[in-house]
Structure formats: C-alpha cells, structure tokens
C-alpha cells in the first residue's frame, strides 16, 4: 500500500549534473519505494523564456536517459513529457478563471523574471503558478517534493485548489509539500548553485577524463596562494563536494588542508577519483540504455498513455463541475 501520489516536474535542461542528482533525482528514486510517483519533464514551462527552443527535443531525451540511468523505473513511476498530455493546457485555462490576478502578480519569482527578461514579459510568466497547479492536480497528486524556496509556489497551488473547491465543490486533493533535505550543491565557481547556465557543473554522463578536467578548474580557498599556505576547508568548494563523495576521508582532508600537508591539485584529484568511482554504475547503465534503439521513446510514450488515462477523467469531472455543456 503506497502512502500517496507524488508529482514532480523539471524543465528540460538536457544532460543532468551532480547538483541535479543530489538535489532532486536521488530523492525521486527513493520516493518510488513508498509513493505512486509521476515525474514529468515540463517542456511547456520551458517556453516561458523562449530560449533554445530548437534544443527542446534533444534536451528532453538526454534528460530522460539520465533519469532512467539514475534509477527512475518506468515499472514503478509514470515518466512522461508535459506537452504529450495536452489536457494540462486545458486545465490551466479552466483554473485561470478561478485565480485572481493579484495572487499571481505578488509571486516573487514573477517579479524576478520581469527583471531578468524585461523584453519578454509574457502571459506565460505570470500564469506559471496556474500551469504548475494544473500539472499537479490533473493527476490528483497529493504530495509534491519541493525545496524550501519553492514553498510559496505550492502555497499558490493550494490557494487555487481551495478557491476551486469553494466555487465548485471538492475535486482535488490539496497538495502537500514534501520538503527535501538535500543541501544546496555549489557549482565549480564556488559561488553559485550548480547550474548548466552558469557553466559551473559536472555532468553525470561526462567521461572520467572530462570529469577530472572539470574538477581541476574548481575554485578553492582563495587564501591558498602557494602549496605551503595553510588552507580553510570550511570556505572551500572542493571540500564541500567531498562531503557528498568522500565522507569517510573528510576529517583527514580537513586536517591535511589546514596543515598544508596536501595541495589543492592532489585534493581535487581525490575528489575526481571519488566522483568517477561513484558514477561507474550510472555510466554503465546509461550506455546500456542508450544503445537500446527506441527505448527512451517507448518509455515516454507509455508514460504519456498512463498519465493521459488519469488526466482525461479529471478533465471530465472538472468540466462537469464548472457547468460546461
């Protein structure tokens, strides 16, 4: 007996990096054991910025390949692409009728996006929380894994659900947040969250050589100009990555760094070796899936079919409740 139904969506950012894995994918994989899970690549959300739309197909496929290699199991979870179940766009329109504009205009990320892309303040940006609500409630999910920063979005979704219920009667579960406990994974620049767009990431699917090369470019403790300078692991980004991949050597590395008994190049090599070792099963599985012709497309088609079976029932119920003839 599963605890409930989880929904989570992620934008099609292409090949995933270790920040994606530690911050989200690992959690997705674990939830499969106890929840009925629906994981979606939200390609329509990606259109709000209209960037690199020519890469959407390729990015979606690469991302799903990484998800499968990391342990998302199509036998346990529904894995699909948002636009392959067009009812989500229909529900978005219907929910927009019960959502006061003032709720959307006060969302902090909308204000940030307006600043970030003043040349393209489109309706999709302001309507984003409504589409996100439609994503969740179309599948009657009751649990949404989120980081603390996403709680305000989920609260808007809960308000929209409550308003719909007030106007048309109980229809959806009110989605609850399942807070993820994974810490922020900093990028190789040591300043910002790991992200492809900052070019500070380590791709899961990179070769061992590429991974080592990338790690060698990482920023470390700026006070360590020379090999003989004592270091401060607590401010070093490489050390923060050792937390994830080299837990058993943490104390030793910190002591050696503080006493200048280890140089940063050697320390990075230790990290690269640990990351490469941890990624061996992922890389083998990815290569194996990639050579199975049509496998990713089959997974996505099957996921869309299963998601659609739920979606069509919800849309039927919503239309009836809203009085559509």
Q: List active site positions.
A: 113, 193, 196
Instruction: Rank residues 76 and 232 by Cβ distance to ligand SF4 and give the closer one.
Output: 232
- Of 19, 74, 145, 231, the residue at the interface with ligand SF4 (CB under 6 A) is 231
* Residue list 6-25, contact with ligand SF4 (CB under 6 A): none
State residue 38 phi and psi, 5-degree precision. -125, 115
- Of 45, 140, 214, 224, the residue at the interface with ligand SF4 (CB under 6 A) is 224
* Residue list 182-221, contact with ligand SF4 (CB under 6 A): 220-221
Side-chain-side CA neighbours of residue 185 (13 Å): 21
- The CB-of-217 to ligand SF4 minimum distance in angstroms stands at 12
Instruction: Rank residues 124 and 231 by Cβ distance to ligand SF4 and give the closer one.
Output: 231
Instruction: Rank residues 43 and 221 by Cβ distance to ligand SF4 and give the closer one.
Output: 221
* Residue list 81-100, contact with ligand SF4 (CB under 6 A): none
- Both tokens assigned to 309: 């079976």
Residue in the block written with tokens 């106007």: 167
- Of 67, 239, 244, 245, the residue at the interface with ligand SF4 (CB under 6 A) is 239
Instruction: Provide the 8-state DSSP code for 74.
Output: T
With CB under 6 A, what is the number of residues at the site for ligand SF4?
A: 13
Instruction: Rank residues 61 and 224 by Cβ distance to ligand SF4 and give the closer one.
Output: 224
Other C-beta atoms closer than 10 Å to the C-beta of 52 total 13
Q: Per-residue contact track with ligand SF4, 260 to 279, x per CB under 6 A?
A: --x-x--xx-----------
Beta bridge partners of 178: 145
Q: Which of 221, 246, 247, 219 is nearest to 234 (CA)?
A: 221
- The CB-of-247 to ligand SF4 minimum distance in angstroms stands at 14
Report whether 203 contacts 70 (CB < 8 A): no
- The CB-of-290 to ligand SF4 minimum distance in angstroms stands at 33
- The CB-of-263 to ligand SF4 minimum distance in angstroms stands at 7
Instruction: Rank residues 56 and 253 by Cβ distance to ligand SF4 and give the closer one.
Output: 253
Q: In sequence order, what are the residues at sequence separation of 6 or more whose Cβ sits closer than 8 angstroms to the Cβ of residue 280?
A: none
What b/e readout covers 295-308, taking b as 16+ CB neighbours within 10 angstroms? bbeebbeebbebbb
- The CB-of-245 to ligand SF4 minimum distance in angstroms stands at 13
DSSP H or E segment with residue 41: strand 36-41
Tell me, rounded to whole angstroms, the distance of Cα 5 from its chain centroid: 18
CA torsion angle 158 176 172 24 (round to 10) = 100
Q: Which of 220, 256, 255, 223 is nearest to 236 (CA)?
A: 220
Instruction: Rank residues 157 and 185 by Cβ distance to ligand SF4 and give the closer one.
Output: 185
DSSP H or E segment with residue 146: strand 143-146
Taking CB under 6 A as the binding criterion, the range among 39-47, 79-87, 142-150, 232-240 that sits at the site for ligand SF4 is 232-240
Instruction: Rank residues 242 and 306 by Cβ distance to ligand SF4 and give the closer one.
Output: 242
- The CB-of-220 to ligand SF4 minimum distance in angstroms stands at 4
- Of 238, 272, 274, 310, the residue at the interface with ligand SF4 (CB under 6 A) is 238
- The CB-of-75 to ligand SF4 minimum distance in angstroms stands at 42
Work out the burial of residue 260: count CB atoms within 10 Å of its CB; fewer than 13 is exposed, 13-18 middle, 19 or more buried: middle
Taking CB under 6 A as the binding criterion, the range among 133-141, 176-184, 231-239, 279-287 that sits at the site for ligand SF4 is 231-239
What b/e readout covers 147-171, taking b as 16+ CB neighbours within 10 angstroms? beebeebbebbbbbbeebeeebeeb
- Positions that interact with ligand SF4 (CB under 6 A): 220-221, 224, 231, 233, 236, 238-239, 257, 262, 264, 267-268
């Amino acid at each position: 007996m599963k605890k409930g139904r989880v929904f989570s969506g992620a934008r099609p950012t292409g090949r995933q990096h270790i920040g994606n894995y530690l911050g989200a994918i690992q959690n997705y994989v674990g939830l499969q054991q106890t929840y009925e899970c629906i994981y979606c690549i939200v390609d329509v959300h990606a259109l709000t910025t209209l960037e690199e739309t020519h890469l959407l197909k390729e990015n979606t496929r690469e991302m799903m390949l990484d998800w499968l290699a990391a342990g998302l199991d199509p036998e346990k979870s529904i894995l699909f692409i948002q636009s392959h179940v067009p009812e989500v766009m229909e529900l978005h329109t219907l929910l927009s009728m019960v959502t006061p504009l003032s709720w959307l205009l006060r969302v902090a990320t909308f204000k940030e996006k307006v600043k970030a892309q003043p040349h393209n303040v489109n309706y999709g940006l302001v309507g984003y929380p409504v589409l996100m609500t439609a994503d969740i409630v179309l599948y009657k999910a009751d649990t949404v894994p989120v980081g603390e920063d996403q709680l305000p979005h989920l609260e808007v979704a809960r308000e929209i659900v409550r308003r719909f219920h007030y106007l048309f009667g109980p229809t959806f579960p009110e989605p609850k947040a399942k807070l993820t406990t994974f810490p922020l994974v900093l990028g190789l620049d040591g300043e910002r969250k790991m992200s492809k767009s900052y070019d500070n990431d380590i791709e899961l699917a990179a070769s061992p050589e590429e991974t080592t090369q990338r790690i060698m470019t990482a920023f470390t403790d700026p006070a360590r100009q020379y090999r003989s300078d004592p270091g401060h692991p607590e401010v070093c980004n490489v050390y923060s990555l050792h937390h994830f991949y080299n837990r058993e050597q943490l104390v030793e590395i910190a002591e050696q760094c503080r006493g200048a008994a280890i140089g940063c190049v050697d320390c990075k090599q230790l990290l690269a070796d640990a990351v490469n070792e941890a990624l061996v099963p992922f890389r083998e599985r990815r290569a194996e899936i990639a050579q199975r012709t049509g496998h990713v497309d089959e997974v996505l088609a099957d996921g869309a079919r299963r998601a659609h079976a739920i979606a069509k029932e919800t849309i039927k119920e919503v239309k009836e409740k809203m009085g559509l003839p």
